[in-house]
Amino acid sequence: MKKLSLITTFLFCFSLCAWAQMTIVRMDGNKVFLDTSEEKTVLTKGSTFKVIVSSETLTNPKTGKNLGEIYKYSDAGIITEVQPLYAVGELKNTTGVTVGKQVVLEEIKPVTVGETSISSKETPKSARPTTTYQPIEQTVISLTEANVTAADAKNIITLSNNNEVTVFSRAEKEILTPQLSFALPAGKKGLSISAAAVKEGLAQIFVTVYNLDRGQINTLVLENKNGTLENTATLPFFTKELGCGTDKKIWGQRPFVLGTNPGNAREIIYKNDKFEAGKNTFNTRHNFLEGLNYYPVEKAHQNNLIFTASNGTLRMLLANGKRAESTDAFGSTPLRIQYKQEILKFYPSVQIFGEPGNATLVAVENSTKFGLLTETFGQYQNGKVHFLNYQKGRLQITDTVLLDGVLYDTACTDNAILTAETLPDGTSTIVEILK
């Protein structure tokens, strides 16, 4: 542990900083109340901010390539009060500012700090073997592996932010070759992708989408029909795969049961020539199936619910009714949608594998980015894949793999953790990390 003696610390940004993860949760005249529960920067009174009042996608008209978002901002406001989980700001002009809008910091006011001790902990380089594939022209927001083109194909399947599903095969020299593709219907925003052979034969692909016109979440089921992906069913559920490789199952939940909260999870089965919710169920505690898992971590033969809390920590419900929690807060949410007046956050998946009672958990952290908005990719600059174990009442990090790009999601195969790192140019690189 390295100790530094600091007399004065200056925290500032030359222009709009892209690290803020703040949402307006309440308004009172010219006052705005900001959720800072995921903000990792030291926010101070006197700091200035702007509200993103609108945005539009910039697209190359010739190639159709998504070049990112163009943002329109409010006039600058000032932070007048800072509390542990929220802050209060004031704006002179609130035109276009509403609850649910996101906020970016413009400048952090310099803070004078007395003699103090700050720990600086470097993350050691992981020794886990990895395979990195050649970049693909997509911003991958979700991915999985399944046998879609052949019985033992082990295809990598991606969902892009352009709402396209692509099925890849592995070629030599770590090259992924696209085999099948499917463009989601207009007005549907892809949220998550899963795949498994719920019925006999090749795997089905389950794409959870947000219907922009109706404000609904459901799932499209895609199947390989003679070399073409076809939408064979639509389910009224939010779905996600849990488990690894051949052992994974598809779970579904009613998207909105209590306001913006989803219901319990039920295993999706195929019965009477249709996909439906089966009898196997577990209580998600009103969390979306993204960012959680259900596995016997504490002891064999008794499943624990593990979920990502709003403050970024992992929490596990123990058999005695208490909970274990990670010592680190690293949950981060590049994928969000606005539902009515709420911002719904879809955390990266939490993967679990290994011997029941002595399992390994895998979670994602995206590091916040410092720099100009026009030169950065979203709110984050790079990702880490953390491996954790349950030790002495805590979920402790035991290994970390550092990656160069932003990570939206992960998947679990028979022998590896699968993720996609998205770089500032919008391309993604698929990475396999051996267990």
**Could you tell me whether strands 229-235 and 216-224 are parallel, antiparallel, or unpaired per DSSP bridges?**
antiparallel
Q: Could you tell me the pLDDT band of residue 341, with boundaries at 50, 70 and 90?
A: confident
Minimal CA–CA distance to 381: which of 413, 364, 403?
403
The CA distance from 205 to 143, in Å, is 11
In the structure, what pLDDT confidence band is assigned to residue 18 with cuts at 50, 70 and 90? very low
Least confident of 110-114, 262-266, 335-339: 110-114
What is the rounded CA–CA span in Å between residue 69 and residue 62?
A: 18
Reduce the DSSP state of residue 347 to 3 states and report it.
Answer: coil
In the prediction, which pLDDT does 117 show? 31
Architecture, CATH, for domain 130-434: 6 Propeller (2.120)
Average pLDDT taken over every residue of the chain: 87
Task: Dump pLDDT digits (tens) for 102-144.
Answer: 888 876 665 444 333 333 345 667 889 999 999 999 999 999 9
**Structural domain 2-120, CATH architecture:** Beta Barrel (2.40)
How far is Cα 24 from Cα 77, in angstroms, rounded to an integer?
13
Return d(Cα 109, Cα 288) in angstroms, integer: 37
Q: Alpha-carbon dihedral of residues 128, 133, 138, 140, nearest 10 degrees? A: -20
Sheet holding 238-242: strands in order across? Answer: 238-242, 249-253, 265-271, 274-282
DSSP conformational letter for 226: S
Q: Are 144 and 418 in contact (CB under 8 A)?
A: yes
Give alpha helix (H) positions in 68-217.
none
Query: Using the 8-state DSSP alphabet, how is residue 75 labeled?
Result: P
Asked if residue 409 lies in contact with residue 348, where contact means CB atoms within 8 angstroms, the answer is yes
Residue 173 phi, psi (nearest 5): 60, 35
Biggest alpha carbon–alpha carbon distance for the chain: 71
How do residues 43-54 score in pLDDT, each as one tens digit? Answer: 788 888 899 998
Q: Which are the contacts of 13, defined by CB distance < 8 A and separation ≥ 6?
A: 105, 106, 107, 108, 370, 371
Burial class (CB in 10 A: 0-12, 13-18, 19+), 415: exposed
Beta strands in 101-227 (DSSP E): 102-107, 117-120, 130-132, 140-146, 155-160, 164-171, 175-183, 188-196, 204-211, 216-224
Residues 298, 299, 304, 307, CA torsion sign: positive
Picking from 80-94, 140-154, 254-268, 395-409, which range would have the lowest pLDDT averaged per residue?
Answer: 80-94
| Model confidence pLDDT, tens digit, residues 64-90 | 777 777 888 899 899 998 887 888 999
State the pTM of this model. Answer: 0.76
315: which 2 tokens? Answer: 């929490």
Do domains 2-120 and 130-434 share one topology? The answer is no
pLDDT band (50, 70, 90) for residue 19: very low
| pLDDT over 60 at 5, yes or no | no
Q: Where are the domains of the chain?
A: 2-120, 130-434
Q: Over the stretch 183-226, which tens digit does the pLDDT of each residue have?
A: 999 999 999 999 999 999 999 999 999 999 999 999 999 999 99
Contact, 124 vs 155, CB < 8 A? no
pLDDT at 9 over 70: no
**Cα 198 from Cα 341, distance rounded (Å):** 36
Q: Which amino acid is at 265?
A: A
Q: What is the pLDDT of residue 41?
A: 62
User: What strand order describes the sheet that includes 406-412?
Assistant: 130-132, 428-434, 416-422, 406-412
- Going from the C-alpha of 175 to that of each of 259, 354, 430, the distances in angstroms are 44, 29, 10
Closest CA to 112 of 48, 45, 19: 45
Q: If we measure between CA atoms, which residue out of 276, 1, 21 comes closest to residue 117? A: 1
